[in-house]
Structure 1
Amino acid sequence: MSKILRILNRLNVGGPTLNVAYLSKYLNKKYHTEVLAGHKEPFEGSSEYVLNDLSIPYKFVPDMYRSIDLKRDYKAFKYIQNEVLKYKPDIVHTHAAKAGVLGRLAAYHNRNRPKVIIHTYHGNVFDGYFSPLKTKIFLAIERYLASISTAIVAISDQQKNDLVNKYKIAPADKVHVIRLGFDLDRFSQNSDEKRQQFRSFYNIQEDEVVITITGRLTAIKNHCLFIEALQMLKQQKPKLKFKAFIVGDGELMEPLIDKIKQTELSFCRVADSNYLADIIFTSWRKDIDVINSGSDIAALTSLNEGTPVSIIEAMASKKVVISTNVGGVKDVIKDGYSGFLCEQTPESFVFKLKKLVEDKELRDKMGANGKKFVIENYSYFRLVQEIESLYSFLLKEKN
């Protein structure tokens, strides 16, 4: 039996937790997995329930948080290093940035160095996060970490191209493209019933088009663009009947509300019940399948993305999607086929959003196309098979 130590940034809502959960649960029994995770930020939704629902044991790494703090980070590094020493894994597989730094260093600089060290990039922090100087420093660190890694996993073709050619982090033969995988069944089940449940609760009229955006309320997700596009949409003549839902939470909740106050748009806070408002904030929700069923259009306005889980789940719910053309988004959305890709301007966004709001037949056609694509390409069965093949290949090479 081969032992795997899987290390995750933090247990917050998003793709990395789901990736870790499905791999830990469904890998061949010849692999034994232990999971270490950092701590989420106070405003982030917890994803502990994902691992708990699948009966996956895990331990928190003391002092491992998203933000950079050299004193805390060193303590977290020593903790992981000690776990590697005790567990003696054959494979250390890290997921996302902070875990990738501390986990790979702790594995490589260890008396019990594992045979294989792998890192999965679920996104990157090289665009839209830090100043040019800090970005150069992080790139230098990532290049060193790639040199001590046995393999790198990119979650899209675009991401591999960025890692190899744009940022020159690793050579092409070290980077393996393995798309994320999810349990998408619940997004197809009882859709009509869920739609009725959602729209009845929020008093949504049959002819109102619901536009939903899901994600952390943080700068990189660029919700300001979403609000600006909605304001322009409301000013269209003749007026269009729509309602928007902002699903998620974060440090920009109040600044976003302040921005809405400067427009003609009305809003409903999480604890309020003004469901006649143009924009309704829901905070974090576990019933995304219900929200997707009740929605008509799924939106994404990010400045940078790896593979956006919210869009894949919406497509599995047979919803048309509209997104800024960033990162690995174009590997998921085929422009004009399953949705629209836009420039990072409200004019570009609202031009295509208006088409979707006005044309139900177009929404239905694109939604059906998108569902077929993600069901075929983003199943966790495929994810597990491809990761198993990579593990087997790398261990065989080392042996």
Structure 2
Amino acid sequence: MRKERPLRIIHCFRSPIGGIFRHVRDLAEIHAKQGNEVGILCDSTTGGSYEDNLFDEIRPHLSLGLLRLPIDRSLSIKDLSAFWSSYREIRSLKPDVLHGHGAKGGAIARLIGSALRVNRYRVARLYSPHGGSLHYAPNSLTGRTVFGLERLLEFQTDSLVFVCDFERQTYSDKVGKPRCRAERIYNGIPDRDFETVYVRPDAVDFLYIGMLRDLKGPDVFIEAFAKAERLMRRPLSALMIGDGPDQPKYERMMLELGLARRIGMLPAMKTREAFSLARTVVVPSRAESMPYIVLEALAARKGVTASRVGGIPEMLGPDSIALANPADADALASIMVQSVLNPQWKTIAMPDPGKVKATFSASVMASSMMSLYHDLLPDVPERVVRNPETASSPPAT
């Protein structure tokens, strides 16, 4: 068995918000502690003080540094400048692995990796879609454009990495069956997060935590809360924690339904801190890939009710009584009522904690990812030549 050498790994993604950022932080921390060198390239125009604090936490693990530059969400002429700046920085870091996350990060990693190969430099090029572009309708102009580009970029991809079976199937349905290597490696969370979070004495009944935008379903949460109160014929309590562009709309909705005193709103905070504020976590998304909030809630031994979307059934179980059809406020309200009325609901509805940890731990995720990285690289003990401009080895194919 060969001894695996330390690798130089750069993760590329656009927005340092949400699940992609969490995924990269966990991989970076574990891989750095194993002796690998890790860096991050991402957008400089998104995120706020909360994300700045998260960068401060991960920065000690980034021996290859943190590069932030403007990267637009949509395709634009500015992408050329972002690509050139990224290429110059990445070339100087001489990476072994370029791992792109999301559509923009995936394009940057694969195009730059291919440019390095033109200069006779071997680098593994990986792409994790993470939902993102896969949400587009395949018959829309945007969808056809994006999926066409995804198909072309497969020729510059050493491996696709899907975080759940739903994501892999969606890619096949919308883009096409992968013509390059494709692996499914579940998201995972650190062992330290697999500890029970106990609720405070003043905890509310329900918690929504996440981005305040329609895709995530805050309006469905508010409507379901109102319906749950009517079903129970008594007031309930809830918190909505997060930030986002549609927050004023939800505040107006609560005022119109007379719920402003029973649903509080707080800015983004650490997830486990938020878990102590409520008994049951509600994830009412209209679309998802593999949301970390569900994994984190299960690890903290919280009760969870959620929409039957994305990879959520892979976490809760395909036949879970905690799942409601997306955008179905009546069904969601019924489950919320049962979670309050039945003291055994959480025990009955939630999966076995031991199985959750065995499947969705960050150590399992990072180990599987590292094995894939090494499998894609040349079987040599050390890379002697690292300068892509002076390398004399034959070009990789």
**TM-score, length basis structure 2:** 0.85
Is 1:285 the counterpart of 2:269? The answer is yes
Selected match of 1:175 from 168, 171, 182: 182
* 1:9-24 matches, cutoff 5 A: 9-12=14-17, 14-24=18-28
Q: Give the drift of 1:118.
A: 0.3
- Note the aligned Cα RMSD (angstroms): 2.7
The letter for the 2-side match of 1:135 is: G
- Paired with 1:130 and 1:284, the residues of 2 have a C-alpha distance of 33
Selected match of 2:84 from 78, 82, 103: 78
Selected match of 1:223 from 199, 218, 222: 218
The match for 2:144 is 136
Query: What does the per-residue CA deviation read over 1:120-165, in whole Å, with 9 as the maximum and x for residues that have no partner?
Result: 1222323268981111111111111222100000000111111124
Task: Out of 134-143 and 338-347, give the one that drifted further.
Answer: 338-347
The match for 2:367 is 385
Q: Give the drift of 1:40.
A: 5.0
1:353/1:188 Cα in 2 relative to 1: closer, same or farther (>3 Å)? same
Selected match of 1:157 from 150, 162, 165: 165
Task: State the secondary structure of the residue aligned to 1:296.
Answer: strand
1:72/1:48 Cα in 2 relative to 1: closer, same or farther (>3 Å)? farther
Q: Give the drift of 1:335.
A: 4.9
Conservation of the 8 A alpha-carbon contact between 1:35 and 1:59: yes
- Paired with 1:212 and 1:378, the residues of 2 have a C-alpha distance of 22
Query: Would you say how many aligned residue pairs link Structure 1 and Structure 2?
Result: 371
Q: Give the drift of 1:46.
A: 1.1
- Paired with 2:363 and 2:275, the residues of 1 have a C-alpha distance of 23
Conservation of the 8 A alpha-carbon contact between 1:94 and 1:103: yes
The letter for the 2-side match of 1:281 is: M
**TM-score, length basis structure 1:** 0.84
The letter for the 2-side match of 1:372 is: G
* 1:8-47 matches, cutoff 5 A: 8-12=13-17, 14-27=18-31, 29=34, 31-39=36-44, 41=46, 45-46=50-51
The match for 1:271 is none
The letter for the 2-side match of 1:381 is: S
Q: Give the drift of 1:317.
A: 1.2
Q: Give the drift of 1:305.
A: 0.8
- Paired with 1:151 and 1:360, the residues of 2 have a C-alpha distance of 46
Q: Give the drift of 1:39.
A: 2.5
Is 1:361 the counterpart of 2:361? The answer is no
Structure with bigger RCO (C-alpha 8 Å, 6+ apart)? 2
- Paired with 1:226 and 1:129, the residues of 2 have a C-alpha distance of 24
Conservation of the 8 A alpha-carbon contact between 1:299 and 1:321: yes
Task: State the secondary structure of the residue aligned to 2:353.
Answer: helix
The match for 1:316 is 299
- Paired with 1:282 and 1:290, the residues of 2 have a C-alpha distance of 12
Selected match of 1:92 from 94, 98, 112: 98
Task: State the secondary structure of the residue aligned to 2:60.
Answer: coil
1:126/1:16 Cα in 2 relative to 1: closer, same or farther (>3 Å)? closer
Selected match of 1:119 from 127, 138, 142: 127
Conservation of the 8 A alpha-carbon contact between 2:148 and 2:175: no
The letter for the 2-side match of 1:252 is: D
- Paired with 1:48 and 1:71, the residues of 2 have a C-alpha distance of 31
1:53/1:140 Cα in 2 relative to 1: closer, same or farther (>3 Å)? closer
Is 1:6 the counterpart of 2:11? The answer is yes
1:42/1:379 Cα in 2 relative to 1: closer, same or farther (>3 Å)? closer
Query: What does the per-residue CA deviation read over 1:242-296, in whole Å, with 9 as the maximum and x for residues that have no partner?
Result: 2111111011010111122221312xxxxxxxxxx2111111002x213213322
The match for 1:109 is 115
Task: State the secondary structure of the residue aligned to 2:306.
Answer: strand
Selected match of 2:69 from 62, 69, 76: 62
Query: What does the per-residue CA deviation read over 1:323-349, in whole Å, with 9 as the maximum and x for residues that have no partner?
Result: 111111111111555833434211222
The letter for the 2-side match of 1:177 is: R
The letter for the 2-side match of 1:179 is: Y
Task: State the secondary structure of the residue aligned to 2:368.
Answer: helix
The match for 1:244 is 238
Selected match of 1:257 from 251, 273, 277: 251
Query: What does the per-residue CA deviation read over 1:4-33, in whole Å, with 9 as the maximum and x for residues that have no partner?
Result: 222122322x22223222322322756422
Task: State the secondary structure of the residue aligned to 2:336.
Answer: helix
Task: Out of 128-137 and 175-184, give the one that drifted further.
Answer: 128-137
Conservation of the 8 A alpha-carbon contact between 2:107 and 2:153: yes
Conservation of the 8 A alpha-carbon contact between 2:286 and 2:326: no
Conservation of the 8 A alpha-carbon contact between 2:109 and 2:125: no
Q: Give the drift of 1:310.
A: 0.8
The letter for the 1-side match of 2:24 is: V
The match for 1:274 is none
- Paired with 1:48 and 1:170, the residues of 2 have a C-alpha distance of 37
Which runs of 5 or more residues in structure 2 are unaligned?
1-5, 380-395
- Paired with 2:168 and 2:159, the residues of 1 have a C-alpha distance of 12
Task: State the secondary structure of the residue aligned to 1:181.
Answer: coil
- Paired with 1:69 and 1:165, the residues of 2 have a C-alpha distance of 23
The match for 1:375 is 357
